[in-house]
Amino acid sequence: MTHDSTDKPRRRGRPPKVARDDPDTRAALLRSGLEVLTEHGFTVSGIDGILKRVGVPKGSFYYYFDSKEAFGRAVMEQYGAYFAAKLDRHLGDDSRPPLARLEAFVEDAAAGMARHDFRRGCLVGNLGQEAGSLPQGYREWLQATLADWQRRLAHCLHEAQAIGELAESADCDRLSEAFWIGWEGAVMRARLERGPRPLDTFITTYMQGLPR
Question: What are the pLDDT digits (tens) for 108-123?
Answer: 999 999 999 999 999 9
* Rounded distance between C-alpha atoms, residue 99 and residue 115, angstroms: 25
Pairwise CA distance, residues 6 & 80, whole Å: 39
Q: Tell whether the model's pLDDT for residue 15 goes beyond 60.
A: no
Q: For the chain, what's the residue count? A: 212
Q: 14 exposed, middle or buried (CB, 10 Å; 0-12, 13-18, 19+)?
A: exposed
The answer to whether the CB of 91 falls within 8 A of the CB of 151 is no
Average pLDDT of 16-38? Answer: 79
pLDDT at 64 over 70: yes
Query: Packing angle between helix 138-162 and helix 68-91, nearest 10 degrees?
Result: 0
User: DSSP letter string over 9-43?
Assistant: PPPTTSPPPPSS--HHHHHHHHHHHHHHHHHH-ST
Angle (nearest 5°) at CA 43 between 38 and 48: 80
Q: Report whether pLDDT(12) > 60.
A: no
Q: What pLDDT, on the 0 to 100 scale, is given for residue 14? A: 47
- Mean pLDDT along residues 72-89: 96
25, 57 Cβ separation under 8 angstroms: no
Q: What value does the mean pLDDT take over residues 146-175?
A: 98
3-state secondary structure of 17: coil
125 touches 184 (CB < 8 A): yes
Please state whether the predicted TM-score (pTM) of the whole model is above 0.75: yes
Residue 82 CB neighbours (<10 A):
12
